[in-house]
Chain A
Amino acid sequence: AQTVTQSQPEMSVQEAETVTLSCTYDTSESDYYLFWYKQPPSRQMILVIRQEAYKQQNATENRFSVNFQKAAKSFSLKISDSQLGDAAMYFCAYRSVYMGGGADGLTFGKGTHLIIQP
């Protein structure tokens, strides 16, 4: 079974600065998807960024970018020019490309609470 580990329960960053959230995962599969989701106090999980394992190029969405190291099984999220609205829980998630065997859903890490200091 796949596992996702987020080793930073909480991170704090000054507004306008850059912060990196860490995520490692364990899998024996060669093809899969990785995601970062944001969960503000409103509780709704919002997709931040998606990476396909077969693509070597790191995904980027405006101020959000990832550093995907497939051999190291690492998938960190970098947030540039942090804004107050970025404050939330951030979850790293893994999804297999294979169907069945109970491996159909997203496997989430425990999350990192991101605090933005004004």
Chain B
Amino acid sequence: DAGVTQSPTHLIKTRGQQVTLRCSPISGHKSVSWYQQVLGQGPQFIFQYYEKEERGRGNFPDRFSARQFPNYSSELNVNALLLGDSALYLCASSPQGAHGSPLHFGNGTRLTVT
């Protein structure tokens, strides 16, 4: 079975631009979460979606938004990019929204903002 897939693998953007990152969960998984991992730090929670509804949001500005589609895939959008948005963006899926469900992570999208 395919794992969590994220695209693109790498991305370079300029300050002020907008970016969309994509994630396909493991087949049968209905919950998708997004995390930001700045170099040298642990991942930080951005969003969780379950059954196409937002279930949780971390401490990120409104420039960050996400959505989940009927096939449970998800997109993370970041507007008005700042240099500080440069990071590895990780997507994770789980079978259900319960907090004890182990998360299965993708390989991430490396975003560089210049």
- Report, as a range, how many residues of chain B touch the other chain: 20 to 34
Contact A99:B42 (CB < 8 A) given known A42-B107, A44-B107: no
| Whole-angstrom CA separation of A96 from B59 in the bound complex | 16
Task: Answer whether residue A106 sits at the interface, using C-beta atoms and an 8 A cutoff.
Answer: yes
Task: Answer whether residue B108 sits at the interface, using C-beta atoms and an 8 A cutoff.
Answer: yes
Q: In the complex the two chains form, is A110's CB within 8 Å of B45's CB?
A: no
A16-40, CB under 8 A of B: which get 1 and which 0?
A: 0000000000000000010101000
Interface residue from A33, A44, A50 paired with B105 (Cβ < 8 Å): A44
Interface residue from B42, B56, B107, B110 paired with A104 (Cβ < 8 Å): B56
Q: In the complex the two chains form, is B103's CB within 8 Å of A47's CB?
A: yes
Task: Answer whether residue B72 sits at the interface, using C-beta atoms and an 8 A cutoff.
Answer: no
Contact A96:B105 (CB < 8 A) given known A105-B48, A111-B42: no
Contacts of A103 in B (CB 8 A): 56
Contact A33:B99 (CB < 8 A) given known A45-B92, A105-B33, A105-B35: yes
Contacts of A43 in B (CB 8 A): 88, 90, 107-108, 110
Q: In the complex the two chains form, is A99's CB within 8 Å of B102's CB?
A: no
Task: Answer whether residue B95 sits at the interface, using C-beta atoms and an 8 A cutoff.
Answer: no
Determine how close the nearest CB of chain A comes to the CB of B85; give it in whole angstroms. 18
Contacts of B40 in A (CB 8 A): 110
Q: In the complex the two chains form, is B58's CB within 8 Å of A109's CB?
A: no
Q: In the complex the two chains form, is B43's CB within 8 Å of A102's CB?
A: no
Interface residue from A37, A42, A95 paired with B99 (Cβ < 8 Å): A95
List B residues 52-89 near A (Cβ within 8 Å). Answer: 55-59, 88
| Whole-angstrom CA separation of A103 from B45 in the bound complex | 9
Task: Answer whether residue B25 sits at the interface, using C-beta atoms and an 8 A cutoff.
Answer: no
Interface residue from B46, B90, B100, B105 paired with A97 (Cβ < 8 Å): B100
| Residues of chain B having any CB pair with chain A under 8 Å | 3, 33, 35, 40-46, 48, 55-59, 88, 90, 92, 99-100, 102-108, 110
The 7 closest A-B pairs by CB, nearest first: A104-B56, A105-B45, A108-B42, A45-B105, A44-B107, A43-B108, A47-B102
Q: List 14 A-B contacts (CB under 8 A).
A: A4-B42, A35-B102, A43-B90, A44-B3, A45-B92, A45-B105, A47-B103, A47-B104, A102-B57, A103-B56, A104-B99, A105-B33, A108-B44, A111-B42
